[in-house]
């Protein structure tokens, strides 16, 4: 159907039916616009005001694009934009114009308001798994979901978009069934770089599904997008501290520590600090032998729930460890302003310190600053004796990696 003669607007329930009736599918492109995806405006201005958002945004976009793409008010808080001839209409240009338009205010009853949106773009020629207009809309919906989860303005659907979403749903269903069972912890040694003595461990979550042992990369994203990461994470804390208590008793070394990873979602759990306090008391380990390992981004917003939880865990006596520390000025400020006692430098940087001279200098400066502040430095992913020599020269205090031991279950360690 030519772009100059779009079909008349239809009710939301008839949108998909109208697609299949009016359009030549191979030429079709769809943009799904999710309005106020986080509910910010609904919470701030009320549902009565928010009910006016969809028609106002539809009007603004219709004025921006005129005929192609055409704009429908879709289901719930979505708009549906349709390319009638995606072969002639540059989807990338339209996507850019959409993002630009939605970065400006929208007039709602004479009141200018910035309306947050997330966009999902699906073009028939780019999504080989979509065989019909409804399939393409679903692919655009999967792209919207990804945009919301990654906090990006717009995402283009691929042939894998819907299947990845199905896998996420399946994974969360499996995770819900597995709570309280099927999870285990593996442990990777952390050594003192001078003595090479094993002084602690990092606990790493594993999920047993039948004969398959799944790594965090296979399921943590699904757990993060739901509330499941909270009970899984709490279980991980208790299990790791119980194991640490056993190893401290066997070794007679009460300074042996356990580093436990925490995500932003876990740190937002209002009951986390109480749970950690209870787990420390139940296990009997010294509080400072529990390393609270967080990523740098969780310390960015001072006063945020995550940063507040970190401060409370520090007050509890835990050792705060920052993983994946960057090498910019902001990262150095966190080391000075936040309650950080340990920083970890990622393998991607560690492997380059002997090759890229400017990087070696910057990482060396981080080690020097850390030493002056009494902060321990851990080099991750160490795999060779040559790396050990260079890391010692830079001033690293600790290291972990395959050279010192791969992640393994507790029964593979002797004391």
Residue at a domain's end among 159, 184, 212: 159
SS (H, E, C) the chain: CCCCCCCCCCCHHHHHHHHHHHCCHHHCEEEEEEECCCCHHHHHHCHHHHCCHHHHHHHHHHHHHCCCCEEEECCCCEEEEEECCCCCCCHHHHHHHHHHHCCCCEEECCEEECCCEEEEEEEHHHCCCCCCHHHHHHHHHHHHHHHHHHCCCEEECCCCHHHHHHHHHHHHHHHHHHCCCCEEEEEEEEEECCCCCEEEEEEEEEEEECCEEECHHHCHHHHHCCCCHHHHHHHHHHHHHHHHHHHHHHHCCCCCEEEEECCHHHHCCCCHHHHHHHHHHHHCCCHHHEEEEEEHHHHCCCCCHHHHHHHHHHHHCCEEEEECCCCCHHHHHHHHHCCCCEEEECHHHHCCCCCCHHHHHHHHHHHHHHHHHCCEEEECCCCCHHHHHHHHHHCCCEECCCCCCCCECHHHCCC
Q: What is the pTM of this model?
A: 0.71
Regarding whether 245 and 194 lie in a shared domain, the answer is yes
The tens digit of pLDDT for each residue in 224-240 reads: 777 788 998 999 999 99
The pLDDT assigned to 375 comes to 94
**Where is pLDDT greater, at 298 or 170?**
170
Q: Model confidence at 15, in pLDDT bands (50, 70, 90)?
A: low
Residue 407 lies inside a defined structural domain of this protein: yes
> Within a domain: residue 4?
no
Domain boundary, last residue among 159, 186, 220: 159
Query: Domain check: are 243 and 271 in the same one?
Result: yes
In order of 229, 351, 354, the CA distances from 343 in angstroms are: 24, 17, 20
Contact between 319 and 288 under an 8 Å Cβ cutoff? The reply is yes
Q: Are strands 212-214 and 198-209 parallel, antiparallel or unpaired?
A: antiparallel
pLDDT tens-digit profile of 150-160? 888 999 999 98
149 shares its domain with 256: no
Which pLDDT does position 10 carry in this prediction? 44
Task: Decide which of 103, 134, 159 is a domain's last residue.
Answer: 159
Q: What CATH number corresponds to the domain at position 131?
A: 3.30.70.270
Are 134 and 185 contained in the same domain? no
Q: Please report whether residue 59 resides in a domain.
A: yes
Q: Is residue 365 part of a domain?
A: yes
Kindly report, residue by residue over 250-269, the tens digit of the pLDDT.
Answer: 999 999 999 999 988 899 88
At 258, which CATH number?
3.20.20.450
137/282 same-domain check? no
**What percent of the chain clears pLDDT 70, i.e. is strictly above it?**
86
Mean pLDDT, residues 43-48 taken together: 86
Q: Which two tokens stand for residue 317?
A: 């006596």
Mean pLDDT within 287-302 = 80
The pLDDT assigned to 81 comes to 80
- Indicate whether 214 belongs to any domain: yes
Q: Please tell me the predicted confidence (pLDDT) of residue 401.
A: 96
Of 83-87, 374-378, 409-413, the range with the lowest mean pLDDT is 83-87
Residue 359 and residue 276 share a domain: yes
Instruction: Decide if 2 is inside a domain.
Output: no
Do 25 and 46 belong together in one domain? Answer: yes
In a domain, 5, yes or no: no
d(Cα 136, Cα 413) in Å, to the nearest integer?
52
The whole-number average pLDDT for the span 377-399 is 94
Same domain, residue pair 255 and 154? no
Number of domains in the chain: 2
- Asked if pLDDT for residue 89 goes beyond 80, the answer is no
Residue 71 to residues 48, 323, 371: CA-CA distances in angstroms? Answer: 23, 45, 59
Domain membership of residue 3 (yes or no) is: no
Q: Do 195 and 344 have their domain in common? A: yes
Q: What's the rounded mean pLDDT across residues 45-54? A: 85
| 285 in the same domain as 306 | yes
User: Which whole number is the average pLDDT over 361-372?
Assistant: 87
Q: pLDDT tens digits for 319-349?
A: 999 887 765 555 666 677 778 999 999 888 8
Instruction: For the chain, give the mean pLDDT.
Output: 84
Q: Are residues 275 and 326 in the same domain?
A: yes
Residue 275 belongs to what domain range?
A: 169-412
Q: Are residues 129 and 179 in the same domain?
A: no
């Amino acid at each position: 159907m030519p772009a100059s003669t779009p079909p008349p607007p239809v009710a939301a329930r008839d949108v998909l039916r109208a697609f299949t009736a009016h359009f030549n599918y191979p030429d079709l492109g769809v943009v799904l616009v999710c309005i106020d995806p986080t509910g910010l405006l609904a919470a701030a201005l009320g549902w009565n005001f928010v009910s006016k958002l969809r028609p106002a945004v539809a009007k603004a976009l219709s004025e921006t694009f005129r005929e192609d793409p055409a704009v429908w008010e879709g289901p719930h808080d979505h708009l549906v934009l349709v390319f009638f001839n995606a072969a002639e209409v540059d989807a990338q240009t339209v996507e850019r114009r959409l993002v630009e338009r939605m970065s400006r205010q929208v007039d709602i009853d004479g009141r200018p308001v910035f309306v947050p949106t997330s966009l999902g773009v699906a073009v028939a020629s780019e999504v080989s798994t979509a065989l019909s207009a409804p399939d393409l809309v679903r692919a655009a919906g999967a792209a919207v979901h990804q945009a919301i989860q990654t906090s990006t303005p717009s995402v283009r659907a691929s042939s894998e978009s819907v299947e990845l979403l199905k896998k996420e749903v399946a994974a969360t269903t499996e995770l819900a069934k597995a709570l309280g069972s099927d999870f285990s912890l593996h442990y990777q040694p952390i050594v003192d770089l001078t003595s090479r003595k094993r002084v602690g461990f990092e606990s790493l979550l594993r999920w047993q599904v039948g004969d398959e042992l799944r790594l965090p990369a296979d399921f943590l994203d699904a757990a993060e997008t739901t509330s499941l990461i909270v009970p899984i994470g709490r279980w991980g804390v208790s299990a790791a501290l119980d194991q640490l208590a056993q190893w401290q008793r066997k070794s007679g070394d009460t300074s042996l520590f356990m580093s436990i990873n925490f995500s932003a979602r876990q740190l937002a759990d209002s009951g986390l600090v109480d749970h950690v306090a209870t787990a420390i008391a139940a296990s009997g380990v010294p509080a400072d032998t529990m390393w609270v390992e967080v990523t740098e981004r969780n310390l960015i917003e001072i006063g945020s729930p995550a940063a507040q939880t970190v401060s409370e865990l520090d007050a509890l006596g835990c050792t705060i460890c920052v993983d994946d520390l960057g090498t910019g000025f902001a990262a150095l400020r966190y080391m000075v302003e936040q309650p950080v006692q340990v920083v970890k430098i990622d393998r991607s940087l560690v492997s380059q310190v002997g090759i890229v001279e400017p990087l070696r200098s910057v990482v060396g400066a981080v080690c020097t600053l850390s030493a002056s502040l009494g902060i321990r430095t851990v080099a991750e992913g160490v795999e060779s004796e040559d790396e050990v020599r260079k890391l010692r020269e830079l001033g690293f205090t600790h290291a972990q990696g395959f050279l010192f031991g791969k992640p393994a279950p507790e029964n593979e360690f002797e004391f």
